[in-house]
Amino acid sequence: MSLSSQESENLKIFLWNPPPNPSEDEKDLKGKKSAAVPPPAQKAKAKKELFGDDSDDEIMDDEFDVESGGEEMEDGRPSLKDDFLAGDSDSDVYDSGEEQAGHIFSEDEDESDAEEKLTAANIEGLSRKLDAQLAHEAAEAQAEMEESAMQTNIAGEPKPHILGDPDDEDDQAALAAPDVTLLRTRITDTVRVLEDFSNLAEEGRSRADYTEQILKDICAYYGYSEFLAEKLFHLFSPSEAFSFFEANEKERPHVIRTNTLKTGRRELAQALINRGVTLEPVGKWSKVGLQIFESQVPLGATPEYLAGHYILQAASSFLPVMALAPQENERILDMAAAPGGKTTYISALMKNTGCVFANDANRARTKGLIGNIHRLGVKNTIVCNYDAKEFPKVIGGFDRVLLDAPCSGTGVISKDPSVKTNKNAKDFMLLPHLQKQLLLCAIDSVDHASSTGGYLVYSTCSVTVEENESVVEYALRKRPNVKLVETGLTFGREGFTSYRGKTFNEKMKWTRRFYPHMYNVDGFFVAKFKKIGPTKAAATNGVKAGGTPEDEEIGVDNDDVPFGGFDDEADKELMEKAVKKHLRKKGINPKVAVAHGKAGGKVDGKAEEAPTTTEEPKAAKEESTGKKEKALEKKKEKILGKKEKQEERAPKKKEGAPKKSYNKPSSETKPEPAKKANGESKKPENGTATSPSSTSSKKAQPK
Ligand SMILES: C[S@@+](CC[C@H](N)C(=O)[O-])C[C@H]1O[C@@H](n2cnc3c(N)ncnc32)[C@H](O)[C@@H]1O
């Protein structure tokens, strides 16, 4: 791994505990108390009290804009919280804190010293923590006893009676309409059988029989579709799958990220403690996170919040940015940025220098992004609103690129339980396809010759292999000019190097998977690439810079968003090509459509073969062609109409003026002369320049 000294500095703080002992999960299976899942109304009330009414859209949770909840793990599995009391390992962050708060976080003090010196305001939090620790120890002791008792029983007792006799009506009735209270027991029993099959399976029954049954039971008990239950179940061993499904029923801790552009963590912690908030550092791995236990005031409405001293952000959403390790004065692209949790963290790490292009295809979501950028005092960011598949045609040559991709959200089921039922096979084809396209575009947007970077981070808040390792593997295959490097995140499970018959690049072990049941954070995936060679020119000239062999267009999630206005000539040509392609797909000869003047645009005169279609009666054919053409015309009008409207809004370019004044020429994809930029001051035509960093950034100036 080649990390710059600054990267190493940024990353050395990871002092993560090893993954939990698997026996912890087993203990849970073997009779330990089950998770108490608060009813939704209670959850909502707690959430409202903690964040206030207005905070809903401010929580930085990726795809799903919902708040994280705040309960510690009840089952004793290691959580981020277990590391908290020892405080930070880096004192830089606490330069402005007062003595009292300093005691809470000082790196020089051991845990017991720090505990003794906790402020009165935080005593309640400490006492909760101690209670939890005691409860945890008691539960562990109890589980150990139960486990040893169970082992004794297993040796002498009959096998669990799960599947029963296929010919026994009572057995089969119990399987078909289980008592809900017994479902969980049957799930745990089945897990036990699957993990010790030769000893515990009933005669004549196969693993497949048990797997089929447990999947049915998981669907019935937790409310998953069979499709998703199966997909998730196979990611883990049976006992770990059980832990995963259980963890998805519990809320993750409430976490805030200190905005170091405005304050330090110690200072912030003190201010919030003074307002009656009980908190502690999120863990040694972060210098800026605070976990909130309780608050007397809504966290989305405190003066500190309004002044931009912190942002409500899920802990795992820090990780891709930490892996990206942005450096001061770099040029960075955040391809799918809204609502901006990661963008604003990137800017904070860059100390508001350099330039961050924060892009999102969803125009409505960019409003929240802009709001956060302003509230947090971020001044080095340009917000833009493109389909990210347009990069690097829009602009390329970045030192680093973050692609926090749109995904299915299977890592954040505790926040959005609708994922349990609303994702189907089609989603798991379309999403990976989009992710692959975006990832190639992300790679093509990185400057391999960057003196400080040349890195790309791909992340999702999903745990499925299709959206993670498969996407990364695809990119490695399509772009031999990138290689996987270590993320620098010293916790998280290794990515799969093989999965259900598929084999992936051996460096896939450097990618990181984060699971709710292991770390009490949202499920997440992080991969880091280093670009080692230039992108072929062809990859940056076409409409689909990423270019996938499938050659399929998959729309952005909001195709009402107007794009365009950035390169008129190329745009026009591309539109025409797209229309022709569309016509051909519909079985229409584009030439004929042009001759009828119905293709909605000028199509060049080159002969285009009409695909052979099945013979239709002439009249019917004409009618259907007419309909198709009308529909096409409408569609094209929609596209071109929007573009034209946008062009009207955009300031007219002077002849010979640079097309993209904010474009940094890439060392590898030399821009056309017209694209050679001459300054940062021009507002991007399709972007919202929130505060282009015209003075502070050497990188913001074209080379
Ligand atoms: C996981 S969320 C990003 C969260 C964000 N990085 C954060 O930390 O706050 C994915 C985002 O991708 C955006 N998106 C979906 N399709 C896109 C596309 N084709 N191009 C760019 N953005 C897209 C969605 O609008 C959504 O805001």
Q: DSSP of 637-649, one letter per residue?
A: HHHHHHHHHHHHH
Q: Which atom from ligand 1 is nearest to the alpha carbon of 61?
A: 9
Does 404 count as an annotated binding residue? yes
Q: Is the CB of 252 under 6 A from ligand 1?
A: no
Q: Which atom from ligand 1 is nearest to the alpha carbon of 360?
A: 22
Among 30-44, 246-260, 575-589, the least confident range: 30-44
d(CA 136, CA 118): 22
pLDDT digit string (tens) for 49-62?
555 544 433 344 44
pLDDT digit string (tens) for 605-631?
232 223 322 333 333 334 444 454 555
Atom 25 of ligand 1, nearest CA residue: 362
Distance 120 CA to ligand 1 centre (A): 42
Residue 634, pLDDT score? 56
d(CA 595, CA 589): 10
Distance 693 CA to ligand 1 centre (A): 24
Q: Which atom from ligand 1 is nearest to the alpha carbon of 404?
A: 6
Distance 56 CA to ligand 1 centre (A): 18
Strand, coil or helix: what is 457?
Answer: strand
d(CA 108, CA 325): 26
Ligand 1 pocket test, pick from 415, 557, 560 with the greatest ligand atom count within 8 Å of Cβ, gives: 557
Q: Where does 74-177 show beta strands of DSSP type E?
A: none
pTM: predicted TM-score of the whole model, two decimal places:
0.65
C-alpha angle 400/401/407, rounded to 5°? 155
**460 with 565: CB under 8 angstroms?**
no
Q: Which atom from ligand 1 is nearest to the alpha carbon of 406?
A: 10
**529 with 649: CB under 8 angstroms?**
no
Ligand 1 pocket test, pick from 362, 463, 548 with the greatest ligand atom count within 8 Å of Cβ, gives: 362
Strand, coil or helix: what is 529?
Answer: strand
Does 220 count as an annotated binding residue? no
**pLDDT for residue 280 is more than 50:** yes
**pLDDT for residue 688 is more than 50:** no
pLDDT mean over 413-439:
97
pLDDT mean over 442-464:
98
Annotated domain spans of the chain: 180-249, 253-312, 316-531
Residue 584, pLDDT score? 75
Instruction: Between 624 and 703, name the one with better pLDDT.
Output: 624
**pLDDT for residue 543 is more than 80:** no
Does 149 count as an annotated binding residue? no
Distance 60 CA to ligand 1 centre (A): 12
Residue 678: other Cβ atoms inside 10 A:
12
Q: Spell out the residues 6+ positions from residue 579 whose beta carbon is closer than 8 angstroms to its own.
A: 590, 599, 600, 601, 603, 632, 636
Distance 592 CA to ligand 1 centre (A): 39
Atom 10 of ligand 1, nearest CA residue: 406
Q: Which residue has the tokens 């960019």?
A: 366
Distance 492 CA to ligand 1 centre (A): 23
316-531 has CATH 3.40.50.150 classification: yes
Cα separation values, 555 from 297, 350, 467, Å: 42, 33, 17
Does 339 count as an annotated binding residue? yes
Ligand 1 pocket test, pick from 60, 360, 526, 563 with the greatest ligand atom count within 8 Å of Cβ, gives: 360
Does 340 count as an annotated binding residue? yes
d(CA 378, CA 316): 22
Exposure on the CB side of residue 27, measured as CA atoms within 13 A: 23
Q: Which two tokens stand for residue 596?
A: 């009828």
- Assigned CATH class of 253-312: alpha beta
Q: Is the CB of 475 under 6 A from ligand 1?
A: no
d(CA 156, CA 80): 40
Q: Which atom from ligand 1 is nearest to the alpha carbon of 407?
A: 1
Residue 577: other Cβ atoms inside 10 A:
15
pLDDT mean over 117-126:
50
3-state SS, 398-419, equals ECEEEEECCCCCCCCCCCCCCH
Q: Is the CB of 389 under 6 A from ligand 1?
A: yes
Highest average pLDDT, of 390-394, 655-659, 662-666, comes from 390-394
Residue 131, pLDDT score? 63
C-alpha angle 521/28/518, rounded to 5°? 20
C-alpha angle 399/402/406, rounded to 5°? 155
pLDDT mean over 428-457:
98
Q: Which residues pair with 437 in a beta bridge?
A: none
Determine the distance from the C-alpha atom of residue 569 to the mean position of all C-alpha atoms in its chain, rounded to a whole number: 35
Eight-class DSSP state of 318: G
Q: Spell out the residues 6+ positions from residue 703 whose beta carbon is closer than 8 angstroms to its own.
A: 664, 665, 667
Does 387 count as an annotated binding residue? yes
Q: Which residue has the tokens 């000082």?
A: 106
Catalytic residue among 219, 384, 441, 461: 461
Q: Which residues pair with 458 in a beta bridge?
A: 403, 527
Atom 16 of ligand 1, nearest CA residue: 556
**pLDDT for residue 223 is more than 70:** yes
Ligand 1 pocket test, pick from 58, 62, 365 with the greatest ligand atom count within 8 Å of Cβ, gives: 62
Does 348 count as an annotated binding residue? no
DSSP 475-509: HHHH-TTEEEE--S--SSEEPPSEETTEE--GGGG
Q: Is the CB of 433 under 6 A from ligand 1?
A: no
Residue 172, pLDDT score? 67
Distance 333 CA to ligand 1 centre (A): 13
**400 with 332: CB under 8 angstroms?**
yes
pLDDT mean over 255-274:
98
| φ and ψ at residue 104, rounded to 5 degrees | -65, -35
Atom 6 of ligand 1, nearest CA residue: 337
Residue 47, pLDDT score? 52
d(CA 153, CA 20): 26
**697 with 332: CB under 8 angstroms?**
no
pLDDT digit string (tens) for 377-414?
999 999 999 999 999 999 999 999 999 999 999 999 99
Q: Is the CB of 556 under 6 A from ligand 1?
A: yes
Chain-wide mean pLDDT for the chain? 70
Highest average pLDDT, of 25-29, 90-94, 209-213, comes from 209-213
Q: Is the CB of 360 under 6 A from ligand 1?
A: yes
**pLDDT for residue 450 is more than 90:** yes
DSSP 342-388: HHHHHHHHTTT-SEEEEE-S-HHHHHHHHHHHHHTT--SEEEE---G
Does 338 count as an annotated binding residue? yes
Residue 586, pLDDT score? 62
Q: Is the CB of 337 under 6 A from ligand 1?
A: yes
Q: Is the CB of 471 under 6 A from ligand 1?
A: no
Does 158 count as an annotated binding residue? no
Q: Is the CB of 341 under 6 A from ligand 1?
A: yes
Eight-class DSSP state of 89: S
Distance 338 CA to ligand 1 centre (A): 6
**pLDDT for residue 328 is more than 90:** yes
Residue 305: other Cβ atoms inside 10 A:
23
d(CA 343, CA 356): 8
**pLDDT for residue 597 is more than 80:** no
Does 314 count as an annotated binding residue? no
pLDDT mean over 665-694:
36
Residue 590, pLDDT score? 73
Alpha helices for 223-318 (secondary structure H): 226-233, 238-247, 265-274, 303-306
**32 with 139: CB under 8 angstroms?**
yes
Q: Which atom from ligand 1 is nearest to the alpha carbon of 340?
A: 9
Instruction: Between 10 and 508, name the one with better pLDDT.
Output: 508
Using pLDDT thresholds of 50, 70 and 90, give the confidence band for residue 589. Answer: confident
Q: Is the CB of 320 under 6 A from ligand 1?
A: no
CA nearest to 339, candidates 322, 309, 359: 359
C-alpha angle 273/275/281, rounded to 5°? 25
Among 196-205, 431-440, 684-693, the least confident range: 684-693
Cα separation values, 540 from 207, 442, 664, 702, Å: 50, 11, 14, 19
**pLDDT for residue 169 is more than 90:** no
Using pLDDT thresholds of 50, 70 and 90, give the confidence band for residue 346. Answer: very high
Q: Which residues pair with 530 in a beta bridge?
A: 455, 483
461 assigned to active site: yes
pLDDT digit string (tens) for 21-37?
333 333 333 333 333 33
pLDDT mean over 243-261:
97
CA nearest to 55, candidates 394, 301, 266: 301
Atom 5 of ligand 1, nearest CA residue: 337
Determine the distance from the C-alpha atom of residue 166 to the mean position of all C-alpha atoms in its chain, rounded to a whole number: 45
Instruction: Between 577 and 271, name the one with better pLDDT.
Output: 271
Q: Which residue has the tokens 């959200």?
A: 409
Residue 588, pLDDT score? 74
Q: Is the CB of 333 under 6 A from ligand 1?
A: no
ipTM beyond cut 0.90: yes
